Amino acid sequence: MEQLINITDSIFLGHVSPIYLGASALASIYFIAIFMLGFGFSLGAQVVIARRNGEGKYADAGKVFFQSLISLSVFAIVVFVLSKLFSPVLLRAIISSDSVYQATIQYIEWRDYSYLFAFPLLAIRAFFIGTTHTKILTANSVVMVLSNVLFNYLLIFGKAGFPQLGISGAGIGSSLAELVGLLFLAVYMWRNADKEKYGLRAVFDLGLSLHLFRISFWTMIRSFFCIAPWFLFFVAIEHLGEYELAAANVVRSISMLFFVIINSFATTTISLVSNLIGANQADKVIPVCRRIIVLNYAIGIPLMLLAFAFSEPLLGSFTDDQVVVHTAFYPFYVMLSTFIISVPAYVYCNTVIGTGNTKTAFIFQIINMFVYLSYLFLLSRLPDIPLAMYWTSEQLYVIVLLLLSLVYLRRGKWLNKTV
């Protein structure tokens, strides 16, 4: 949902200004990096909900949901306040272009409000995925994206009597879309969830909350470090120039379409693996992973081929500036090739999380981040490195992730992990 919202923001802003297009890349990745702390907590909650669901302890699964909802709501307020206080200072220190900085701040000052709606929504999402009732999440995503499209159209361009707010309008529209998504999912859960089966009643349990935090801590930090290198990637690109930054955002936005596919399957892997282990069917974990990989390729490869065949109109849909389109051309092809390696890498890494070994997944992320940032630092020190070369850092990232995850899973120490 978050990635799709950022994509629609980029499409609208790309038709206003290359500076807005580039600034939205830095702003949206900055937002996502902080958002991933909440997302990581929800993954930990999802693991526990799925394990209790697999064990047939449905009332316990509902109790875990309420603790995660309370924790994420409090966390949202803390993150919102901290971002208001420190984001302008932090971003000023790392963005060299004044125009890009001003545009980034205009977006962030309104996008901050999304935390207040997105974090509670994550708790509801974790419940539905953990109990394997995921169809409503597709409808919720559609509602959110359509809402964002409408709000962007009205507020960025000043249509139907609304003020023309430019990049600030994109930030406001995205936050409103988060609110719509939260209300939609909350109303659906209230009307349709089996309250008796899952014991859905507001009860605070400090011991359970601390247990959730212990499980989630490593997924929180790991999720943050999954995205933080992307932010540093765009900071490095920003120093190449405003057009290069805008082109990089176009490629990133298209890559997010593939990331949504990969991450949706990979995140669902967590619940399936945890459910299987909870039901004493650990022998089915690896076969299920292989099936998920095949399904992932079945959806992703045809889309990848279509993107390759219609690359020019696809790139042009994000901006009317032909300099930006031309600059994005070769990085776009490098990005497409990365999809093939990313599928098994993310599936097997999320399998490690699904076993409950969240600390191990975090260690993998730290190793991977060190390799990734070292490679990125090396590129930034070499003269006249083309933008496409920077994108090979993504290929290195997923290769290392795949190797670490496979080695761990083949050792088999995860089979008796309890959560």
- Calpha distance 71→204 (Å, rounded): 10
Give the start-to-end residue ranges of the domains of the chain. 2-411
Instruction: State the DSSP code for 306.
Output: H
Residue 413 has pLDDT above 80, yes or no: no
Residue type, 197: K
Give 415's pLDDT tier (boundaries 50, 70, 90): low
Residue 298 has pLDDT above 70, yes or no: yes
Which tens digits make up the pLDDT trace of 223-241?
888 788 888 888 888 878 8
pLDDT of residue 211: 84
Cβ–Cβ < 8 Å for 28, 36: no
Least confident of 25-29, 184-188, 274-278, 345-349: 274-278
Least confident of 110-124, 181-195, 403-417: 403-417
Average pLDDT, the chain: 88
Which tens digits make up the pLDDT trace of 328-341?
999 999 999 999 99
CA angle, 411 then 416 then 418, to 5°: 130
Residue 192 has pLDDT above 60, yes or no: yes
Report the percent of the chain where pLDDT is more than 70.
98
Which tens digits make up the pLDDT trace of 304-324?
999 999 998 999 888 888 888
Closest by Cα among 268, 254, 40 to 138: 268
* Three-state DSSP class for residue 240: coil
CA distances from 406 to 287, 361, 379, 409 (A): 14, 12, 28, 5
pLDDT of residue 124: 94
Residue 131 has pLDDT above 70, yes or no: yes
Which tens digits make up the pLDDT trace of 197-222?
887 777 777 888 888 888 888 888 87
pLDDT of residue 94: 87
Closest by Cα among 138, 126, 117, 132 to 183: 117
Residue 419 has pLDDT above 60, yes or no: no
Average of per-residue pLDDT across 371-376: 91
Give 414's pLDDT tier (boundaries 50, 70, 90): low
